[in-house]
Each structure stands twice: as structure tokens, then as C-alpha cells.
Amino acid sequence: MSYDFNKIEDKWQKYWAEQKTFQATNPPLEGELEGIALPKFYVLDMFPYPSGAGLHVGHPLGYIASDIYARYKRHKGFNVLHPMGYDSFGLPAEQYAIQTGQHPADTTKVNIEGGVDKEGKKIKGYRKQLDRMGFSFDWSRELRTSDPKCYKWTQWIFIQLFNSWYNKDSDKAEDIEALISIFSSDGNAGVNAVCDDDIPEFSATIWKQFSNKEQQEILLKYRLTYLAETEVNWCPDLGTVLANDEIVNGVSERGGHPVTRKKMTQWSMRITAYAQRLLDGLKTVDWPQPLKDTQANWIGRSEGATAEFKVLPLAPSEGGGTSRNSRITGDSSIIGILLERAKEMRKKPTKAEAKLWEGLRDKKTGLKFRRQHPIYKYIPDFVCLEKRLIIEIDGEIHQYQLDEDAERQLILEEKKGYHFLRFTNEQVLNDIDAVIDEISNKLKVLPSGEDLGGDFSNEEDIGDIDAVFVETQRNIENSGIPPSGARGISVFTTRPDTIFGVSFMVLAPEHELVSQITTPEQKTEVEAYVEATAKRSERERMADVKTISGAFTGAYAEHPFTKEPIPIWIGDYVLAGYGTGAVMSVPCGDQRDYDFAKYFKIPIPNIFEGIDISEEAFSDKDKTIITNSDFLNGLPYKKAVKRAIFELEKLGQGEGKINYRLRDAVFSRQRYWGEPFPVYYDADGMPQMLDKKFLPLELPEVDKYLPTETGDPPLGNAKAWYWLQYGDKGKVVTKEKFESSSPSGRLGGDLELNTMPGWAGSSQYFNRYMDPHNDDEIFSQEAINYWQDVDLYIGGSEHATGHLLYSRFWQKFMFDKGLVPKDEYAKKLINQGMITGTSAFVYRTFYFYGYAHDNNAKEGVLDFIRERPILISTNHHDLLENDEYVKDFNFINEWFVSELKREFEIDDVGGINFKKTTPLHVDVSLINSSDELDIEAFKNWRPEYKNAIFILDNGERYDSNTSLEGRPAGAFTVSREVEKMSKSKYNVVSPDEICDQYGADSLRLYEMFLGPLEQSKPWNTAGITGVHGFLKKLWKLYHSGSNGEFFVNDSPPSEGLGEDLRTLHKTIKKVEEDIENFSFNTSVSTFMICVNELTAQKCHSREILESLAILVSPYAPHIAEELWQKLGHNESISKVPFPKFEEKYLVESEKEYPISFNGKMRFTMKLSLDLSKEDIEAAVMAHEKTKQQLQGRTPKKVIVVPGKIVNIVG
RNA sequence: GCUCGAGUGGUGGAAUUGGUAGACACGUUGGACUUAAAAUCCAAUGGACAUUAGUCCGUACGGGUUCAAGUCCCGUCUCGAGUACCA
């Protein structure tokens, strides 16, 4: 009986489906026993996108590996969860919808389930393709992200994120209600949250006075998903924004379209809150190092310091100040103006202010203090309203405005009855206790007044605050004091140790201070530069790193230590989006600063001991010794950094800081085919979440999938896309219906037009698989507590900074909310390598012709030549490359010329130029295993080459004139090259073809046999005969009866020489080790060796062959099931215990010792393993070949490693 | 540029803590069977010289450690991946 793989595989695939063999059981209810004793094991493949192109042999590589592992774990007694589903929202379906008008849901369904789409395209379907390979997926748990039942929970998580904020004190996400109650009791001063950086400080009183809308606006700045105007990567050709990880080299990952920066109001995810935890978590998971590195790189943590550089006032001769746009606009409320001013100042507290605030906040003095709180016409540093005590810290800036300060103190003291205390920076920083004492003493002697907090409704004040505020602004401007730069330019640096090497500062052209500090003299130049950089696209800026450009603002900053003036420049090498958008430039220590300084002839002071910086900057931290740097002199890098930070903090002009490159993730896409947001906008335009009971909010039908005429996303085309709700009843309605509904008790408004990005649906799917049909919760606590996390996750490395980072973020969020027990969801992750294609090429030569011109009669020559392209085989092409062709194959030329002459009767034809060739991709299915082209099939495939002339390997000519009988026998060999597997390269091999021809078991074995799982390797169908031959041999081993009948005998294996048991146990040991180490390629070799040996031993022992069937079953499950059944079993092999390895069968008494001389192996010698070192040495020395090798010499030394080797030196 | 990974026959790749380099396959060549092909089986197959024994060279390149190095150390080159004015 021969090995009929098609029949066998079909049979068992049906059996598994019918018997639901691989359905995983969730923990049973109490009283039921089955399943509970089994330990769990969760094996997961990354969510595939079901594309219409179907699978090629590269796709299932990871699935085969995970399937082997899952099957192995079942044999090992685990309850294995091994699900599969589809990430079925996505761009390709939508692009196809735009092109053909078909609903993406329809095409997606066909892509998964197979069939014919409306265009008449035949699609096999992912599911059928997967089933054919014999995967042990639990299909009862299938998920499709585009299924409303599935995206219901994506929407639900979105709402959870919206209703959460990140508390830095507890270092986790917390409920937004908790934040609201803090605001109502204490305001936001004591809140340590990850939030937007432009939040004004407010007291509880002010919070309560905010309108609902104002409160909502403020809360948005804290929520973990928030709506904000952000700079996004806009891709006009795709009509959508892209995430950073969707952009490669400045163009879109899909399609390579240009991307520009644009400001848009978008939903964002506050992933930055988790930056540190995402970094820390990497240490706890067993993931590939390159993947971890990529993530760490993406998060981009850098340790350093902030430093504050004061902006110096402009010399009067320079005109002082620039005109600023007045911030006062007609429609802003007065509270708004003052709050804005206050928050702007609070944003940049000086070190001394921050320190004193620590001493005053939270009623530490027994009384409530506020900082930067508007009083009458001014904003003092601190105020205790109850005691009418104002505390001011006089920094350097104060020196420039003594008069104004004196004046306002007078006004406040005399007219408003306030008391003043003034301290200097030094007092606060050096002896905070004394300062606090003085304040406390002062408070004791002052009488109590009423709390005037938020008392802005006083009519009298409102009248003139506006005017006075403007006046104050003007005064500041006229005095030559830099306006909002008064508090200086903040920079982030990882090299605070080089602060004495600063010779200039550079701001990003987009920096908000640029327009404020630029002197009138420099204004034209600066504005021209800013405009020029704004025009350059991100791509241009990135591509053009070499060109140095910038402009001087005319302004100077003050060095915090030397107090020297430092020129302030702008330049586009400083990025607005990183750090503070400004740098302190240390040209001697940073190459970019160095180049900039050289270009603009800025001095380059050297602060490195014994280092020559005349040619380039010196950035080696380890060899650094600082000099010319005051208190840092002589210090090595690390000590200098510490000291510099210490000194900066002492001055109140800086502190140690950790910076991250990671940005918040934009979560809106202007697409149709994605999860709709469960969000409507109320009458105030504020976003509101739908109640859980209304989920899922289903994707509406639209006429077309393009943006609307007004530029809205495709959902803007939906006829009904308004939310209308009264009490417990809500539904999606048309605009008209909404507007005509009764406003009384009505909730609702227009629904969000954006949809969620591709990664939304894949960020918690692994947990949803644990309880996929639960309609009440995302998963039950019983399910998550049983399955816990993914034990083995296999997928491609291309998801490193997308899915794999975002899903970790969501998992940590879910962990914070107590919904999942693990804050990392995948213990072990493997990136399978890519299987590349082996493209085939023929070469087309080009030739010129030259004949007497002006000969119209010869019109047809050109066409004649065009219709006869010459294709040469690869060896001719190689000759060509070596310039050897023309002389060897000149006869082709001669023949062609004679053809021309015959046809057109012309004498002076030039000839063929063989030098110019272009490679042409040939479909790999037209190539046999010896790389020879099927020429007739090629001509059918490419009709434009039906008249082509083929030059065969042996130089013979094959063309359309050659009769079939008289055809040259030579072969036409193509050249092959490894490329990515792709339709356009005609090198795609489909798994279905392989299954037809060799069977799924062969495919599975071969994919594993190709090489290590993680490595990328080329596909070559020819090699599959090796593993296919192995399966036939395996089959034969069980069919050694007459006429190939099934035959095993029941005699105990030990009756023979025991060799078969040795072979078996050697195999068990190796295969077990290999699977545990994910070294699947070597275990296939091991099986081959095993079968070769057992065949040679003529093994028929049932005991041995039963074990072998189990060993093979994870790899080649169909044949294993069939053999298992033939061995007399009625149950599937899939859960039979794995054979137990027993050492005793491998114990040997003898060893074939390699005998080497000076490290070179010369011969081997069989010796007993019982021998002592001395015995071995004696035996070896006595050997004839040893004497021969030594030729009479006496060895200097003899190394004997018992059980290993003997080495004779001398 | 920086970070990481990898360089072994004609090809895919093996080689455990340093201990017989090239397992297992593909391909190639020769042979058996067959009218023939396919399938199957047998033999050879890193290179060079010798064609019997054998000798020399060989794991990207150059050094080093060691009785012994594909494996460890130093330096160089090439390829691949990620990232890129990240201060």
C-alpha cells in the first residue's frame, strides 16, 4: 500500500473538524472535573490580515512552528489554547472598495471564506488554505475584528481609557471620578499626573465655578485618551493620518506616498504615561533581543538635565524688544486672560519658586497658599488670601523691574491692604527652613480676612483689569525685559558636564520664543529663515542632513555659571518636537554643534583635557576629563554630570531629568473600514461616550468610501450618523431626525467621523480569545485567571514598534484597572524569519541595426527586429559580463544579419549589440528543478515573446521557425536570485500547490527543515523531495509486509541487539530538546536519521513504531494519525502521552576515540569507556598507526580526555 | 552615523560546556532496474596534489590565547535588520 497523502490528509482534517479535537476547554464549573487537572498552555500566532492575494509559502512558517509546539504540549499533558482569527479591518479592503465600489465587509468575507467576488476574482479563502495545512486551531474561538461583536469590546476599552487618568504618585491608571473628586476638594495643585503641559492651576473653588464645558475641557487634558489638536503625519494621497510606525523613510509604509506635517484635532492615546513601565517590562519577558532593542530605542529614554538659560535684556541701542501680538482678544473672558498669564508663568517656575512652593503647598504652614494667583491687577508669586500675605521671590529679573515692583507693592499695600514678604533666590535655595519660619511668624501676627479666592466677579475689578494688564505688558516690553522669555530658555541636555563648553544656543525655528526675542535688526533674516524651513517638507529635512543652515536672533542668553552672554541662534537641526525644542550648543563635544559653529564662525571653546578638537568634536564620554570648567575641572564624565546637576539645582536653574522620545499615539484615522468611536459630540461640542449598554456602535453604511466634499472622513457620507438618546433608549438617526427631536431630556449629537487605527483591534485580542463569546464582559475573570497570559507568541518582527508596543500599553492599562492578572501578556515571543522567493530571470539583449538610411523601402526592418527579441540563457549572460561573448557567439550575429539581408535585401546591416541586456522576471512555475525554462510554456505565458529567439545553453538557436521535430535538444537555463516573495516578481509559491503535489505533512516538514525558525531563508521547491522521500520511507517502515502491506510485530524490542531501542531513545532525547529550544530544523534531521537507522535495522517492533508515530505527530500529524489508527487505536493520536526518554538505552561501553596529533585528527580507535587515562594512553601508544605518525619521535605530552578525545603533542 | 544580528561546500544548513568541521537534505556525477520516462535502490561528492597508502589547505580576513578554536579574545572587511539631526 503506497503513501496516499491526499487521501490521508483529507480524512484526518475532516476527522479533527468533526470531533472538535482541538477545542480548548475553559476551567469547568464546580463539580465538573474534566480539564481542571490540566495545566494550561497558550500558544498564539500574530493576528493575520486576510488579504485577497491569499497565502504564500512564507506565511505559514510561524503557524507551523506554533502548531508543532501546541501539539507537542498536548502530548505533554497540557490543556492547550491555540486560537486563530483575523485582523479584518484594514487599508487594502478599503482601497479595493474605493476602486470597485464593493463593500469591504463583503470582500473581507470572501477573502476569509473563499468564493468569487463581484469583480469575478476567484479567491481560495484564508480559512481553506489554513485548514489544508492541518493546523490544530480551536476554530470555535475565531475572532474577526470587523465583527461588531468583536469591536464592541474595542469600543469598550476605549471608553475605559477615556475614563482614566494616570496618577504618577501611585504610578498607575486611575478612574477619572477620583480625579474629579480631588479637583472638587483640593483643586489640581496637588495632583501629580501625566497630562498636557498647559494646564492652569486652579483651586477647588475655581473648579466648582468652571462651567461644565470648561471642566470637560480640563479633564480632557488628563484622560488617557484625549482629543487634542496635534501635529500629525498627514498623507494626502491616502487621505488619512499615519502613526509614526506607519512611516518609513518619510513616506507611507503602504504605497510609499509622501507625508506632511499638519495640525488636526485628533484622538490620542497617552502612551507616554507608560514609557518607563514599557521599558522596564522588557526586562521581564523572554523576547528576542533585537525586538527589545527596537522597542527600547523607540521609547528612547535619555538621562540628563534641564538647564535654564536666562534671556538677557536687550541693550537700549538695539531698540529693545519686538512687537508682540497682543494676547487680548475681544471675546476672551478676563478670567481667561489672567489664568492664561498665570498658567504660562506656572509652567516655568524657577527652582526657587518650586522649592518654596513645596514648603507652602497643602497647607503646610497651616494656611492655604496659592501660587501665581491673580490679585487685582497683578500676579504675585505666592499669596495667602486669608491673611492677605503676598510672598515674592526676587530673582535676577527683578533687578530690571524694581520700579514696577515697588509701584505694585505700593498699590497692593495701600489700596488693597496686602502685606508683603520678599526673599531672594539664594535665601530660598540655601535656607528654606529660615524662609518658612519667617513666613509662619508673619502669618501669626496678621489678622484673618475672608478667602477672596476666585473673587473675580467684582464689577469694579473687571472694569480695569483688562486695561491694567495690557498696560503692564506694555511696560514690560518697553523696559527691554524679554517678555515670556523672562524666565529663560529651558534646554534638555544629556551632557550637563559640558556646560562650560557652551558657546551658543539654538532654538528650533518653530520655537515660540523666536518671534519674541528676535531683535529688529535680525527680524528680516530670522523671519525669512523660519518661512523657508516651514516650506521644506519633513522628508526634505530628513534627506538633507548635510546642509547647515540657521540664523542669528540678535538676542543673548546668560550662562548660568559664568554669566557670560551667549548668542541665541535658530536652526533646523534642532527639532521642535524633542525635549524643549532648544539646545545648549557645545561645539567641542557634539558634532552637529561643531559643524554649526564652524559654518557660522562661532567660537569653539575646548573643555576637554588633552583632546585636540581642531578637526572634529569629541564625544567619547568614557575618556572625558573636563577642564576650563570652574568647579568641574579634572572630573571624569560621571562625576562631572552629578556635580553639574547639583550646581544647577543650587542655582535654581536646572535639575536632573529623564526624557523620552516616545510620543503620544494618534488614534484617529480618516478611514471607513475601522472601528467606529463610541463617541458623540454634545451641544457644547464636547465628546461624550456612549453608555456600555448601547455598544457596539455599528459602522454605518455609506455610498462611497472617499472623503466627503467638505473634506470630512468617509463616515461623513453616512446618511444617519447622529446619536439620539432619551434615558435608556438611544439610537443612531439622521441629522434631520435629530434636529426635529425634542430637546427636553435629550442626549446626543453628531457622532465621531474618524475610525480607529489598525492596531486598536489587535491590542487585546489575545485576552478576548480566552472567552470569545462572552456578551456581558470582555472576558470573565474565571477565564483570564485560568489562562493568565500567552506562553508562546509567534509572529513577524515588523510589528516591533506597532502592535507589540501598543498592545503592551493596553495590557498595562488593563492591569492597572485590575482586569488582567499580568502586566505583560506574552512570556515568550519568537520572530519567525521571512521566507524569501527565488526569482527566475531570462535576459533580453538589445541590438542596434545600421543600414543605408533614407531607404523608405526598408520600413519594415524595425518591426521585424522588434518582433524578434533575443533571449539568452544565463551562461551566455555570464559570458557577456566577462566580455567574452561576442567573439564566441558571433555566429548568432552573423545569422541575424543574414536573416535581415534575406528579408530586406540590404547589405550594410550593422549588427547585434549583445552587451546591453535587461533581466526579465519569469514565473517560477515555468522552471524545472534544474533551473531550466519550459520555453513553450513561457511563450504561452508571455504572448509578446511568441516570436522570440532563444539562445540555449549550448549556443543553439531556438525560435518560432524551428519545427517541433527539429527542435534543438539543449536546455535553456535561467538565472536565479533571492528576492522578497511577491506577485510582481512572479516568484510566489502557494502552499496549495505544494499540498497538491507533496501533501501538507511534506510542506510542514520542509518549512521546518529549511533552517532555524528566526532566520530568513530562500524558498526552493526542488528541495522538498528530500522530506517527501522521508515520509515515504517512514510509511514503508510500517508497511514492510508483502506487497507493502502494513506490518508490525509484537515481539519485545530487546530481542534483537537492542539497537532499535537505542535509536528510538536517542531520537526521543534529541527531539524533545529541539522542540523545547524551538530548533525545529534539527529535529527533522533527527527523524530522518532515526528512520534510516530503523530501516537498516529492519525494525518491525510495535513498541518502537508506536513511539515513533507519537514523536513525529506534532510535525506530520496526518501520517501519524493514519499510522496510529493502523496500529490499532481508535482515538486520535493528538493527546497520547509523549514517549518517555530512558537514559539506560543510551549507555555505551565503547567509544570510537578520535586520535589527534598536534590537534589534527588522524585516525579513530575503538576503546572501552571503562579504561583509565593511563590505560587509554597505553593503548593508543601501542597502536601501529601511532608509531607511524610519530615516526620514531617521542611525544612531549599526551592529552587524554576520557570519553572525548586523545591528543598527542610532539 | 549609531544599535543589533550574521558571514561554514554548488545550495539550505548541522556541529551540546572549546574536543572527529561539513550531520541531514537538495543538486551534481556514475551505476542498477526499465522499451522509455517517472519512481526506487546503490556509490561518489569541500578544494588541491597523489589517484594505493597518503599529504597539504580549508568555517569572511589579519592576529592572539590553548594540547586543541567554526566556537574564546583583539583588530579589519562584507552583508542584513532597526533607527536616524533625539541634544
Tell me if A756 sits within 8 A of A154, measured CB to CB: yes
ipTM of the complex in this document: 0.94
* pLDDT, greater one: A165 or A947: A165
Residue A466 has what pLDDT? 35
Residue A37 has what pLDDT? 66
One-letter amino acid for residue A1063 of the chain: T
What is the CATH number that goes with domain A1150-1209?
A: 3.10.20.590
Residue A625, SS3 per DSSP: strand
Q: How far is the CA of A830 from the C1' of B22 (A)?
A: 28
Domain A485-658 has CATH 3.60.15.10: no
Helices A1000-1009 and A1080-1096 cross at an angle (nearest 10°) of: 120
Nearest nucleotide by C1' position to the A300 CA atom: B86
Residue at minimum CA to C1' distance from nucleotide B23: A1085
Q: How far is the CA of A1201 from the C1' of B19 (A)?
A: 8
Q: How far is the CA of A1004 from the C1' of B37 (A)?
A: 29
Nearest nucleotide by C1' position to the A1155 CA atom: B20
Q: How far is the CA of A1158 from the C1' of B64 (A)?
A: 18
One-letter amino acid for residue A140 of the chain: S
Is the predicted pLDDT of residue A926 greater than 90, yes or no?
no
Q: How far is the CA of A1157 from the C1' of B65 (A)?
A: 20
Q: How far is the CA of A1031 from the C1' of B22 (A)?
A: 25
H/E element holding A269? strand A260-269
Residue in the structure block whose three cell numbers are 510495535: A1102
Residue A67, SS3 per DSSP: helix
Helices (H), A1137-1204: 1173-1182, 1184-1190
- C-alpha span between A772 and A667 (Å, rounded): 25
Is the predicted pLDDT of residue A753 greater than 70, yes or no?
yes
One-letter amino acid for residue A883 of the chain: D
Tell me if A505 sits within 8 A of A555, measured CB to CB: no
What does the radius of gyration of chain A's CA atoms come to, in whole angstroms?
39
- C-alpha span between A118 and A99 (Å, rounded): 12
Let me know if the fold of A40-155+762-834 is the same as that of A1150-1209.
no
Tell me if A376 sits within 8 A of A416, measured CB to CB: yes
What are the Cα distances from residue A268, in Å, to A40, A113, A180, A240, A990? Answer: 36, 35, 21, 15, 40
- C-alpha span between A133 and A16 (Å, rounded): 12
Q: Is the dihedral of CA A1118, A1122, A1124, A1130 positive or negative?
A: positive
One-letter amino acid for residue A14 of the chain: K
Q: How far is the CA of A1010 from the C1' of B70 (A)?
A: 21
Per residue in A201-214, pLDDT (tens digit) is 899 999 999 999 99
Residue A538 has what pLDDT? 57
Q: How far is the CA of A133 from the C1' of B44 (A)?
A: 37
User: DSSP letter at A589?
Assistant: T
Q: Which residue in A534, A569, A490 sits closest to A309, CA to CA? A: A490
Residue A336 has what pLDDT? 42
Who's near A243: CB < 8 A, 6+ residues apart?
Answer: A233, A665, A666, A757, A759, A802
Neighbours of A908 (CB within 10 A): 10
Q: How far is the CA of A1037 from the C1' of B34 (A)?
A: 25
- The fold of A327-482 is Endonuclease; Chain A (3.40.960)
Who's near A705: CB < 8 A, 6+ residues apart?
Answer: A94, A97, A98, A104, A672, A673, A714
Q: What number is the average pLDDT over the span A966-976? A: 72
Nearest nucleotide by C1' position to the A545 CA atom: B85
Nearest nucleotide by C1' position to the A506 CA atom: B87
Q: What number is the average pLDDT over the span A69-75? A: 95
Nearest nucleotide by C1' position to the A1073 CA atom: B16
Nearest nucleotide by C1' position to the A1092 CA atom: B24
What is the CATH number that goes with domain A40-155+762-834?
A: 3.40.50.620
Nearest nucleotide by C1' position to the A1016 CA atom: B80
Q: Which residue in A756, A594, A763 sits closest to A268, CA to CA? A: A756
Nearest nucleotide by C1' position to the A585 CA atom: B87
H/E element holding A505? strand A504-507
What are the Cα distances from residue A1120, in Å, to A996, A1058, A1109? Answer: 19, 24, 5
Residue A1033, SS3 per DSSP: helix
Mean pLDDT over each residue of chain A, to the nearest integer: 82
Who's near A490: CB < 8 A, 6+ residues apart?
Answer: A306, A307, A308, A309, A348, A580, A582
Residue spans of the domains in chain A: they are 40-155+762-834, 327-482, 485-658, 847-918+940-979, 991-1138, 1150-1209
Q: How far is the CA of A878 from the C1' of B59 (A)?
A: 28
Nearest nucleotide by C1' position to the A548 CA atom: B85
Q: How far is the CA of A1088 from the C1' of B39 (A)?
A: 20
* Residue A545 CB-density burial (10 A; 0-12 exposed, 13-18 middle, 19+ buried): exposed
Per residue in A138-177, pLDDT (tens digit) is 999 999 999 999 999 999 999 999 999 999 999 999 999 9
Strand partners, A215: none
Nucleotides of B under 7 A from a protein CB: 3-5, 11-15, 19-21, 23-28, 39-41, 54-56, 67-69, 80-87
Per residue in A568-615, pLDDT (tens digit) is 999 988 888 788 889 999 998 888 898 899 889 999 999 988 888 888
Neighbours of A464 (CB within 10 A): 12
Nearest nucleotide by C1' position to the A583 CA atom: B87
Is the predicted pLDDT of residue A180 greater than 90, yes or no?
yes
Nearest nucleotide by C1' position to the A930 CA atom: B27
Per residue in A1093-1119, pLDDT (tens digit) is 998 888 888 999 999 999 999 999 999
Report residue A424 as a C-alpha cell.
531672594
Strand partners, A828: A286
Q: How far is the CA of A829 from the C1' of B15 (A)?
A: 26
Q: What number is the average pLDDT over the span A34-48? A: 83
Q: How far is the CA of A971 from the C1' of B37 (A)?
A: 18
Q: How far is the CA of A1173 from the C1' of B65 (A)?
A: 26
Nearest nucleotide by C1' position to the A1199 CA atom: B67
Q: Per-residue confidence at A1128, pLDDT binned at 50, 70, 90?
A: very high
Q: Per-residue confidence at A263, pLDDT binned at 50, 70, 90?
A: confident
Tell me if A187 sits within 8 A of A202, measured CB to CB: yes
- C-alpha span between A185 and A901 (Å, rounded): 102
- C-alpha span between A392 and A405 (Å, rounded): 10
Q: How far is the CA of A786 from the C1' of B76 (A)?
A: 55
Q: Per-residue confidence at A1156, pLDDT binned at 50, 70, 90?
A: confident
Neighbours of A1076 (CB within 10 A): 10
Is the predicted pLDDT of residue A459 greater than 80, yes or no?
no
Q: How far is the CA of A1131 from the C1' of B26 (A)?
A: 37
Tell me if A1004 sits within 8 A of A1120, measured CB to CB: no
- C-alpha span between A1134 and A130 (Å, rounded): 18
Q: How far is the CA of A1202 from the C1' of B54 (A)?
A: 29
Residue A1097 has what pLDDT? 86
- C-alpha span between A136 and A378 (Å, rounded): 73
Q: Which residue in A1207, A1205, A1195 sits closest to A1167, CA to CA? A: A1205
Domain A991-1138 has CATH 3.40.50.970: no
Is the predicted pLDDT of residue A285 greater than 60, yes or no?
yes
- C-alpha span between A81 and A139 (Å, rounded): 11
Strand partners, A975: A841
Q: Per-residue confidence at A87, pLDDT binned at 50, 70, 90?
A: very high
Who's near A507: CB < 8 A, 6+ residues apart?
Answer: A489, A513, A514, A553, A568, A569, A570, A571, A574, A581, A582
* pLDDT, greater one: A789 or A376: A789
Nearest nucleotide by C1' position to the A1205 CA atom: B19
Q: How far is the CA of A1040 from the C1' of B30 (A)?
A: 30
Nearest nucleotide by C1' position to the A1036 CA atom: B40
Helix, strand, coil distribution of chain A in percent, nearest 5: 40, 20, 40
Neighbours of A410 (CB within 10 A): 11
Report residue A487 as a C-alpha cell.
524666565
Neighbours of A734 (CB within 10 A): 14
- C-alpha span between A926 and A947 (Å, rounded): 18
* pLDDT, greater one: A144 or A955: A144
Residue at minimum CA to C1' distance from nucleotide B84: A542
Q: How far is the CA of A51 from the C1' of B14 (A)?
A: 37
Residue at minimum CA to C1' distance from nucleotide B81: A290
Q: What number is the average pLDDT over the span A961-983? A: 71
Residue in the structure block whose three cell numbers are 494667583: A373
Q: What number is the average pLDDT over the span A738-749? A: 91
